[in-house]
Amino acid sequence: MIIDCAVYQDGRRLDLKPSATEARRVSEERSDSFAWVGLYEPKEEEFEDVRQAFGLHELAVEDAIKAQQRPKLEVYGDSLFIVLKPTLYVTAEHDVQVGEILLFVGRKFIVSVRHGDVGELIGVRKTIESRPDLLKHGPSAVVYAILDNVVDGYRKVVNDLEDQIQEEIEAEVLLPNGRAGPEEIYTMKREVLEFHSACAPLVEPVERLARMRVGFVDETISAYMNDVQDHLLKVVSDVHRFREILSNAMELHLSSTSARLNQTLSQLTIIASLFLPLTFLSGFFGMNFGWLVDHIGSFWTFAAAVAAMAVTVLIQLVIFRRRGLLG
């Protein structure tokens, strides 16, 4: 589905509603102009017109229809093919949703194809149309605007993840009976991993754009690309930090569970050590041996037995205290 199709000259949108083919023709005729066609989940036949109008490479087109690419930048002759993975973190579901944006960039055109629910581009078009000073630098300005939007989205995800990790994992796992079990840590790790595969492979393409290694970017846009690159690097280094924090939290959980296990076992050992001997002693004097029964009739024998029990308990308490087992 074609969402929007426009031609820009000297940084300003021309008042036309061209088809893709017309947009190409107009932009070729006029100097300092370029066409921007925006599509959403195009079917093969829908995309055919656009493909022919701009002479896009067969392989890139196949990728654009199938989606499911990893972020990349490829040079086909004198045009670029860029794949981006915008993300959105749905806090309630602890879920990182990932979309896909594919860009075909030529000297005088840019075709953007979007898949999935994440990474809406209408807002981006409005934002960049309000900056004719940038837009007059050509399609690379649009690439910048889209990249900036995607990376801004990453930064929001990073902030949301940071909050959730601090509140739901770190705060809980440091409590003696916190709610964060290993399952929660695992699930969070999983989300971070998924987010990592969306944002990390983008570093190298953005660097190539920022350092003007692909020929489409002039010095002005390069400075803006550098800014995006910088934000992206911060995102990636935060993701690495999250992974380390979550690994540490998993380790901490194991260690503190193990420490608690020891406490519980110590408690059981104390109970058993105190009462098993006592139970034996009372059982001993409950035996029905005639001789025994005959010789424990007096009060003093009873008193002596009770005293023996008390002494047993006391000695054990002293031992436990010395070993630091009583708290």
Nearer to its own copies, 16 or 59 (CB): 59
| Residue from the set 211, 257, 314, 318 that interacts with its own copies by CB under 8 A | 257
Cβ at position 284, least distance to its own copies in Å: 5
CB of 195 to its own copies, least distance (A): 12
Asked if 40 contacts 85 with a C-beta cutoff of 8 angstroms, the reply is no
324: contact with its own copies by CB under 8 A: yes
Q: Measure the CA–CA gap between 118 and 236, rounded to whole angstroms.
A: 20
Site string for its own copies, 101-140 (x = CB under 8 A): ----------------------------------------
Q: What residues have CB less than 8 Å from 315, skipping those under 6 apart?
A: none
Question: What string marks each residue from 273 to 302 as x (binds its own copies by CB under 8 A) or -?
Answer: xxxxxxxx-xxxxxxxxxxxx--xxxx-xx
Stretch that binds its own copies, among 23-31, 101-109, 112-120, 170-178 (CB under 8 A): 170-178
CB-based contacts of 40, cutoff 8 Å, min separation 6: 1, 3, 113, 114, 115
Report CA-CA distances (Å) from 52 to 46, 78, 233, 256. Answer: 11, 16, 37, 64
Q: CB of 18: closest distance to its own copies in angstroms?
A: 29
Out of 41, 241, 308, 312, the only residue in the binding site for its own copies (CB under 8 A) is: 241
Site for its own copies in 62-101 (CB under 8 A): 63, 69-70, 72, 74, 76
Give the chain's length: 327
H or E element, residue 323: none
Q: Establish if 318 lies at the interface with its own copies (CB under 8 A).
A: no
**Is 320 an interacting residue with respect to its own copies (CB under 8 A)?**
no
Going by C-alpha positions, the residue among 229, 30, 239, 32 that lies closest to residue 143 is 229
Q: Can you say whether residue 96 is alpha, beta or left, with left for phi > 0 and alpha for psi between -120 and 50 degrees? A: beta
